[in-house]
């Protein structure tokens, strides 16, 4: 029984990428380190950005008003001696 389940699981893992490629599904994850020290991660699905995650090292908020709407900004800070991650 265990052998059959393992063979089934391995065959599904081998079949799924081929089927997804044939259907034209494209998933891409980009991670970019910028000059100001911030790190930006993006999740792309079928050539469009689904979610953007920005890590800001110095507590600064993005000043751009033209930013992508579903962007989550994570900013580290120290409040009352505790290390906190502010998520906006």
Domain of 71 in residue numbering reads as 25-87
| 20 domain-assigned | no
Tell me the pLDDT tens digit for each residue of 20-64.
666 666 777 788 888 877 888 888 887 788 888 888 777 666 555
Whether 72 maps to a domain, the answer reads: yes
pLDDT value at position 18? 59
In-domain check, residue 14: no
Asked if the structure places residue 19 within a domain, the reply is no
Strand stretches in 1-88, DSSP E? 27-33, 39-45, 48-55, 71-79, 82-87
In the prediction, which pLDDT does 23 show?
65
Q: 69 in a domain, yes or no?
A: yes
Q: What is the largest CA-CA distance in the chain?
A: 58
In a domain, 40, yes or no: yes
Q: Flag whether 4 is in a domain.
A: no
Q: Count of domains in the chain?
A: 1
In a domain, 77, yes or no: yes
pTM of this prediction exceeds 0.75: no
Other Cβ atoms within 10 Å of 56 Cβ, number: 21
Q: What is the mean pLDDT of residues 4-23?
A: 70
């Amino acid at each position: 029984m265990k052998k059959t389940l393992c063979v089934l699981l391995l065959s599904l893992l081998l079949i799924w990428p081929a089927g997804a490629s044939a259907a034209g599904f494209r998933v891409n994850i980009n991670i970019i380190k910028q000059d100001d020290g911030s790190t930006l991660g993006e999740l792309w699905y079928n050539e469009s950005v689904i979610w953007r995650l920005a890590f800001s090292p110095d507590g600064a908020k993005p000043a751009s008003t033209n930013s992508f709407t579903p962007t989550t900004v994570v900013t580290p800070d120290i409040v009352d001696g505790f290390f906190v991650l502010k998520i906006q």
